[in-house]
Amino acid sequence: MPQPTERRTALAQLARTAAVALPAVLAGAVVTPATAQRSGTLLDALLLILRVEWLQEAFYSRLLTAPTVVPAAIQPDLALIRAQQQQHVALLENVISTSGGVLPTRPTYDFTGSHGQTTPSLFPDVFTSADTALAVAQVLEDFSVRAYQGQLASLMSNNDLMDLVVRMYAVEGRHAAHLRRLRQQRGASVKPWISGTDGDGPIPPATAPIYAGEGQLEQLATVSVYPPVKTSLVALLPTLPVLTDAEQKAAATEAYDEPLTTAEAQRIMALFVI
Amino acid sequence: MATPNHTPAPDEAGIGNRLLQPIDRRLFLRYTGVTAAATGLLLAGCDDDDNNSDSNAVNVGTGDFGVLNYAFALEQLEAAFYTQLRTGSYYTGLGANSAEKQILDDLALHEKIHADFFRAAIPANGGTLIKDLEPDFSSINFNSKDSVLKAAQDFEDLGVAAYNGAGRYLSNPLFLSIAGKIVSVEARHAGLIRDLRAYNTFVANDVVDVFTPTPGSNGPTPFSQGTGTGLERSKTPSEVVAIANNFLKSGSKLNVSGIS
């Protein structure tokens, strides 16, 4: 973690002049000054997102290292995704470090989930079975979508940074749909979107934490009205004979991805860190 | 319906114009759940005096409600599209258990949920809803797979670009959270439809600024030299409505001049 003095410098810098660190396409945009109170969560949010990208980048890099279990036909797909994760890493590291933030040391990963063979493996054949490898890839993309989403509100104090992050976030959604489609074509029963809690994910129970909370049937519809009003998404849909109860509920959960809190995201990432 | 999957006929849109009547307004309104009372709602921010815009246009308003109405408008458009495609022979010719039918059915439900959520949430928070919009899909040939999927891709990509570009105009974290929950699902839709049309185009350069490394620059820091950012391209509200208005009838075209 950054030292206190460095951290204060980074927070102030992020609040004021983050656009300096952004690529040319974003430079020149108006930077909204952030409040001092919000700055802390802004840096914390960027650091958490960076850890999510590190995790994914490390996974694809390891997965694509020869000899790889990934069929030749889909290696270009994964290489493309990996390249974009690397770009996201580079951008985030650039923004953080040029704002005076200190980049933490990159973790060492164990994608079997055995923490360096100190605990039972969650995914023992992750690099020897193509199906397991693609399942873990999907899980990491879905995780990424949910983890990003959980940080958005912390970025509201700086519109340029939020803009940068939401545009990475949308790319993660496209990646997730592609991985799901790849798995579907290999016979997995999975949609491009998360349906309910997706049966606790492709490899339950190990993947259950990544999908916990995705089965929400209603959304909070009001912000400052007390008591808060929740809208039932199921009630928005036609009923039998058009749709069964199960179909209504599936659609209601699929239409919204759900955020992971910082603590939840950290716990999930810890599954893969030695 | 003999159009090959990957060879769009240049005259498809024209054929569509001749073959298809605009969707029956009652069908559209019934689908989008509007009531007779709701059709009379005043436009939000109708005191706007932007003389450059169509005086007949629907002004989405200002502030967070302006952004929410803007999202509501785009979701209405998407929901209406997935409803109307059911009238075309491309959809009606799909097998009951075909992957494409299941995907299009899911998309129709998701977009209806999004639209109707905004329909509930905007007034629940004290905002004024824009009216229900009348689409104009006469440029889409609903009997052609390519025309339908191309339009679906355009609507989904537009939705992602619109949400991404509008985030900065929201000031309430809860509204941003809702938009965030929706945009990644729109991105899933967009990626999937792109892959259906042309495999491995889920992040093609027209929607994601794909990084192109400078040849020979692979040093210790990967991709340190080159062009591109790996970011989704986003669109401002005015850029979005310039496209969306092509699919809305006069009197339903959008004015987003209040969003800033």
In order, the DSSP letters of A77-145 are HHHHHHHHHHHHHHHHHHHHHHTTPPPPPPPPB-TTSSTTTTS--SSTTTTT-HHHHHHHHHHHHHHHH
Cβ distance B124 to A225 less than 8 Å, yes or no, reads yes
Residue B248 confidence class, pLDDT cut points 50, 70, 90: very high
Tell me which DSSP letter residue B132 carries: P
CA-nearest residue to A32 within chain B is B168
* Cβ–Cβ gap B200/A171 under 8 Å: no
Q: Please indicate whether residue B5 or residue A56 has the higher confidence score (pLDDT).
A: A56
Of B99, B175, B191, the CB nearest to A173: B191
Q: How far is A127 from chain B (nearest CA, A)?
A: 23
CB spacing of A173 vs B221 below 8 angstroms: no
Nearest partner of A158 among A9, A3, A13, A1, judged by Cα: A13
Kindly identify which residue of chain A lies nearest to residue B229, measuring between CA atoms: A87
Instruction: Compare CB distances from A84 to B194, B230, B234 and report the shortest one's residue.
Output: B230
pLDDT value, residue B7: 39
Residue type, A109: Y
Class of domain B27-255: mainly alpha
Average pLDDT of the segment spanning B76-93: 97
Look at B186 and A162 and tell me if their CB atoms are within 8 Å: no
Q: Across residues A229-257, what is the average pLDDT? A: 87
DSSP 3-state of A73: helix
Q: To the nearest 5 percent, what fractions of chain B are helix, strand and coil?
A: 50, 5, 45
Residues of B in contact with A249 (CB under 8 A): none
pTM: 0.82
Of B109, B195, B229, which has the smallest distance from its Cβ to A25's Cβ? B229
What pLDDT is stored for residue A235 in this prediction?
A: 81
- Domains of chain A, by residue range, sit at 4-214+261-270, 215-256
CB contact under 8 A, B188 and A192: yes
| Closest of A70, A89, A71, A181 to residue B231, by C-alpha | A89
- Give pLDDT, residue A148: 97
Instruction: Name the least confident of A10-19, B124-133, B223-232.
Output: A10-19
The phi and psi torsions of B212 (rounded to 5 degrees) equal -115, 110
How far is the first Cα of chain B from the last one, in angstroms, to the nearest whole number?
Answer: 45
- Mean pLDDT, chain B, integer: 80
For the stretch A118-126, contacts whose Cβ atoms lie closer than 8 Å and that sit 24 or more positions apart, written own/partner, are A122/A203, A122/A206, A122/A271, A123/A203, A123/A206
> DSSP H helical segments within chain B, as ranges?
12-19, 25-31, 63-84, 89-92, 99-124, 145-166, 173-197, 237-244
A231 vs B120, B185, B234: nearest CB: B120
A4-214+261-270 belongs to CATH 1.20.1260.10:
yes
B144, B90 in Cβ contact below 8 A? yes
- Of all residues in chain A, the one with the smallest CA distance to B182 is A256
pLDDT at A213 over 90: yes
- Give how far B104 is from chain A: nearest CA, Å: 12
| Identity of the residue in B174, B229, B231 whose CB atom sits nearest the CB atom of A220 | B174
Residue B71 has pLDDT above 70, yes or no: yes
Determine whether the interchain pair B113/A237 forms a contact, defined as Cβ–Cβ distance below 8 Å.
Answer: yes
Mean pLDDT, rounded, of chain A? 86
CB A56 within 8 A of CB A147: no
CB contact under 8 A, A178 and B187: no
In this structure, what token pair is assigned to residue A31?
């930077």
- Residues sharing a CB contact under 8 Å with residue A65, sequence separation 6 or more, in sequence order: none
Q: Where are the domains of chain B?
A: 27-255
Query: Cis omega (within 30 of 0) on the bond before A227?
Result: yes
State the average pLDDT over residues B32-47: 34
DSSP element (H, E) containing A223:
none
φ/ψ of residue B226, rounded to 5: 150, -170
